[in-house]
A and B are shown apart, each in its own frame.
Chain A
């Protein structure tokens, strides 16, 4: 782990658009390491900003941000809404029930409709992998992926990295860090984005799940694969627990939540197998008593779960700011 040099973002990254030459944020897989670091650096200012009593900036004043959520969400939607409002944008939430938009041309038609309303940024969540890319190809404004199927959830991975960086005392990257991600990896876009992001920042990632919940060929993405949680925990610096995504499961993947907890639940006893002072993370929402025990989730000195939520707003502010710089005419970005 290297300590972060005390320089401002502007000094460490290429000038203007060269620092982040993408119109959209569809996935971590499309970002280079320095682009991830740039977004994290940009988010840092919004962490401090959000801790002030008055937290309103006019950066995005006059811009319309549409949160088009085709899949149920409370936390991510709220986080994006707050981020947009803190930056002064006009934020509109479109909450379409999954059932009514999954069919036919509707998704593309919706995209074209949003485009015609002159949105300045569109945030998409959709139950199908690749849906965000499909919409991005059809509209003229930046598109942010707030989770597409089992593919990616880039802002979650970025906020996890930001939270981790802060918890580790402001390190630049995660070289030498061992992170264990345990849970329903098969159905998890968070696992995929985090795998890519953590690896790009130098960490070693161990994935742990029962065989039925481990996607085929994930070793090829550079992960170490475990089915035995105790073995996966040995010496880990960070333990990230994932929820069982019952809503995405067709068929039975585990015999019962009780049995799952027996094998894969994070208890105090299990946590002791990890490195001393290992950090505990969870993207939420948690199923207490299934994948994580309450006393572990609430450990003040070890659990950074609430810090993750805080960082979520900052990361989303940074992403909205960076991606709209072109249309706001910011020097070097137009």
Chain B
């Protein structure tokens, strides 16, 4: 391959965030590669695409072999679910770090990794390396950098990266400002049948802003950009995607105007999907009060009206995916004045509980919650996962949806505790997790 010479030795490729880590405070039975013995989880409530039904689930040799009104067979290891949820492992679409302990804590068995690594995932070798980095107990599905160095100028080798395991092409943390580049990208990705994952903030309008323009940012004296920066970016990308007949996924849509554009585009039959993270579902820009840098996010937290619009869009199906946007950041990035701090939150551990909160609040039903957390992201990635079905990989979470716990930034499984939910009570915890039939969190 022509560009091998540009690659540093393997050991130096991802020096800052080692892909493996040992979980803290969780029981783990070791990273065995293969399931040794069939397992039957009995007496649970199966979370299926259209319903939640009492039943059992049996898996052997890493795959689901039976589910429903079934009994354990001789020699099976039996796990009594005692009425808890038997759900598919979560598929987290759009994370920034491979942080296994946090993902396992949150019931996540697969994640789509954003290309914003150091160096960025813009070469096939980097993609194939990172695609294997989580196995066997966690699967990473890399999203290729759409442009070289994520600079938004020259297209990256998308076809070769697809061969190497990339499951989409992402613009990264930034919007591609040049419409000509964006159109060429969309046309090329459409030819390759790759979804283009977009960051929706008009860069010219956003500038150096760290907050959404409004009373809160003004009181705090923070540089701010109007929320309309999102709708502007989405409008342009939708127009170009339609022109290119490309599939686009807006990783985070956080404003009423942006969601209205996506809703209308879906109604017109465009291949558009979108997601959101727990922060924009549950928090408004009031959370940046006291200059808490854990609430410094990209896009920034919005006004309460926009948060309500996000809830509506989750309820009516406009939003397809809820993802953690997991981006653990240590004190060197976060213990700074608000505007100087890096954006991002460690979200993997609260993804499930915050989404279950939507079920409790009556915004969505339980099957839809797992559609948002598992089935839809798996479909976007083109992987057979995210749904409990015979023959599927045994990625299974045993969940107590009522179990209360409190988020404590100092005691997180993640490599850093930068969560704007610090100190908040949550309900819903993963009690056991299997990846490919192997227990990664023991019951």
Tell me the A residues contacting B by CB distance below 8 Å: 29, 102-105, 107-108, 126, 128-131, 133-134, 148-152, 189, 192, 215-218, 220-221, 250-251
Contact = CB atoms under 8 A, between A and B. Distances in A.
Nearest to B338: A130
Contacts, number: 85
A151 B220 contact: yes
A1 to B, nearest CB: 28
23 contacts: A102-B340, A107-B336, A108-B335, A126-B337, A129-B221, A134-B337, A149-B222, A151-B221, A152-B221, A192-B218, A192-B221, A215-B213, A215-B217, A215-B224, A216-B213, A216-B217, A216-B218, A216-B224, A217-B218, A218-B215, A220-B218, A221-B219, A251-B207
A149 B218 contact: no
B12 interface: no
B335 A216 contact: no
Contacts of B218: 192, 215-218, 220-221
B215 A105 contact: no
Nearest to A109: B335
A35 to B, nearest CB: 19
B338 A128 contact: yes
A129 B339 contact: yes
Nearest to A129: B221
B335 A105 contact: yes
B223 interface: yes
A221 B339 contact: no
Nearest to B222: A129
B379 to A, nearest CB: 39
Contacts of A216: 213-215, 217-218, 224, 226
B291 A134 contact: yes
B332 interface: yes
A150 B222 contact: yes
Interface in B168-224: 207-208, 213-224
Contact of B221 (A102, A105, A108, A149): A149
Interface string B79-122: 00000000000000000000000000000000000000000000
B361 interface: no
Contact of A250 (B208, B215, B226, B290): B208
Given A215-B224, A217-B215, A221-B215, A128 B339 contact: yes
B331 interface: yes
Contacts of A134: 291, 335-337
Nearest to B213: A216
B339 A105 contact: no
A3 B332 CA distance: 53
A165 to B, nearest CB: 25
B215 A220 contact: yes
Interface of B: 207-208, 213-224, 226, 290-291, 331-332, 335-340
B291 to A, nearest CB: 3
Contact of B338 (A103, A129, A218): A129
Contacts of A152: 221
Nearest to A223: B218
Contacts of A104: 332, 336
B119 to A, nearest CB: 21
Contacts of B339: 128-130, 149
A131 B226 CA distance: 24
B331 A129 contact: no
A9 to B, nearest CB: 30
A27 B221 CA distance: 12
Contacts of A131: 337
Given A128-B337, A216-B224, A250 B207 contact: yes
A29 B215 CA distance: 14
Interface hub of B213, B217, B219 (most chain A Cβ within 10 A): B219
A107 B219 contact: no
Contacts of B340: 102-103, 128
A250 B207 CA distance: 8
A102 B340 CA distance: 8
Interface hub of B224, B290, B331, B340 (most chain A Cβ within 10 A): B340
B47 to A, nearest CB: 43
A151 B221 CA distance: 4
Given A150-B223, A216-B218, A216-B226, A130 B337 contact: yes
Given A128-B336, A149-B222, A215-B217, 18 more contacts: A108-B331, A128-B339, A130-B222, A131-B337, A134-B291, A149-B337, A151-B220, A215-B213, A216-B224, A217-B213, A217-B214, A217-B216, A218-B215, A218-B218, A220-B215, A220-B218, A250-B207, A251-B207
A301 B76 CA distance: 96
Contact of B220 (A102, A130, A251): A130
A215 B216 CA distance: 11
B331 A105 contact: yes
Contacts of B208: 250
A118 to B, nearest CB: 23
Contacts of A103: 340
Contacts of A126: 337
A49 B290 CA distance: 37
Contacts of B291: 129-130, 133-134
A276 to B, nearest CB: 33
Contacts of A128: 336-340
